[in-house]
Amino acid sequence: MANRAKPAFSTDKGLLQTPELYEYILETSVYPREPELLKELRAITLNHPRAFMATAPDAGQFMALILKLVNAKKTIEIGVFTGYSLLLTALTIPEGGKVMGLTVICITAIDIDRNAYEIGLPIIEKAGVEHKINFIESEALPALNQLLQDPKNRGTFDFGFVDADKINYANYHEKLLELLKPGGVVIYDNTLWGGSVAMPEVSVPESRLQTREVAIEFNKFLAADARVQISQIALGDGITICRRL
Ligand code: SAM
Ligand code: CA
C-alpha cells in the first residue's frame, strides 16, 4: 500500500529485545543440548526455500520439556514440514510397545506436503524412530474428522502440536479437545505472529495483516475458553500452551 509506514518489523529479531540476547539463549542453553540428529535436520532444511517455517530450536527444547512433563505417549502434530518438531517428539516420547505382535504407533503427523516430510525422513530413519510415526498426507481437518470417527481415538491423546494454517486453528482446537485426554496439552505455534498482534496496523507488512487478524481473534478466543487452562509465552514466534480441563 502506497502510504504504509516502514514496517516496524524484523523477522530475524524475533520477540526479544536484541538478536544478541536470542543468540545468547541459543548458544548457552539450547545448542549444547540439541541432539545431533536435530542439528542435522535443521541443516538440511536450510536448503529449502521456506526454511524459515521450521520450528525454532529454543521452542523445540521447550516442547520436549512439556512432552516429558505430561509423560506424553500418544501425540498428534498438525504441520510437519521437514520434521523438526516431529523428530523431536519421536526422540522424546517412549516406545509404544507391541499389541498382538504389532508395533503401536504413537505419533499421528498430518501435513498436505509429503515432499517436505521426505526431506527430513532419512534423518528420522537414521534416528531409528520412524516406526513411532504415522504420517498422514492430507488437509488436516478431514484427517482429524477421520480420526474422530474411531471411538478409540477420542479422549486418548496426551499431547498435540499445531503449526499449520493459522486460519484453521480455532477449527483444530475443537477437534483436538475431543481427541485430547482431560489433562492433555496442546501447543499452538506462532500465536504472536512476529509481534504483529500488538503492533498498530499501519506498521505491519501487508502480507502479514490477514494472519495477524486471525491470530488476534484466536488469542481472544482461547483467553475466553473455559475448557482449557492456558499460558501464552514469547518463545519462538509466540506459543500458547493449552491444558484440557
Ligand atoms: N512444525 C514444522 C517444523 O517443526 O518444521 C513446521 C510446520 S510449517 C510452519 C507449516 C506446515 O503446515 C507446512 O508444511 C504446510 O504444508 C502445512 N499445512 C499448511 N496448511 C495445512 C493444512 N490445511 N493441512 C495440513 N497441513 C497444512
Ligand atoms: Ca511455526
Assigned domain for 5 exists: no
Among all bound ligands, the one having the nearest atom to the CA of 54 is: 1
Q: Comparing 195 with 188, which gets the higher pLDDT?
A: 188
| All residues at 6 or more sequence positions from 55 whose CB lies less than 8 Å from its CB, including other chains | 63, 84, 85, 88, 163, 189, 236
Assigned domain for 87 exists: yes
Residue 13 predicted with pLDDT over 70? no
Query: How would residue 157 be classed by pLDDT, with cut points 50, 70 and 90?
Result: very high
Which string of b and e fits 55-93 if b means at least 16 CB within 10 Å? bbbbbbbbbbebbeebebbbbbbbbbbbbbbbbbbbbbb
CA atoms of 189 and 235, how far apart (whole Å): 9
What percentage of the chain reaches a pLDDT higher than 90?
Answer: 84
Residue 3 predicted with pLDDT over 50? no
Q: Is 90 in the pocket of ligand 1 (CB under 6 A)?
A: no
DSSP state of 167: G
Q: Which of 83, 82, 107, 80 is nearest to 93 (CA)?
A: 107
Q: Tell me what pLDDT residue 210 has.
A: 95
Structural domains counted in the chain? 1
Q: Is 136 in the pocket of ligand 1 (CB under 6 A)?
A: no
| Positive or negative: CA dihedral 206, 10, 193, 201 | negative
Q: Provide the domain limits for residue 88.
A: 19-244
Assigned domain for 10 exists: no
Q: Tell me what pLDDT residue 102 has.
A: 75
Cα 152 to its chain centre, rounded Å, is 24
Q: Is 113 in the pocket of ligand 1 (CB under 6 A)?
A: yes
ipTM above threshold 0.95: yes
- For ligand 2, the distance from its centroid to the CA atom of residue 26, given in whole angstroms, is 17
- For ligand 2, the distance from its centroid to the CA atom of residue 189, given in whole angstroms, is 5
Check which CATH number belongs to the domain holding 24 and give it: 3.40.50.150
Between vectors from CA 83 to CA 158 and to CA 183, what angle results, nearest 5°?
A: 10
Q: Tell me what pLDDT residue 39 has.
A: 97
Assigned domain for 156 exists: yes
- Which residues line ion ligand 2, judged by CB < 5 Å? 163, 189-190
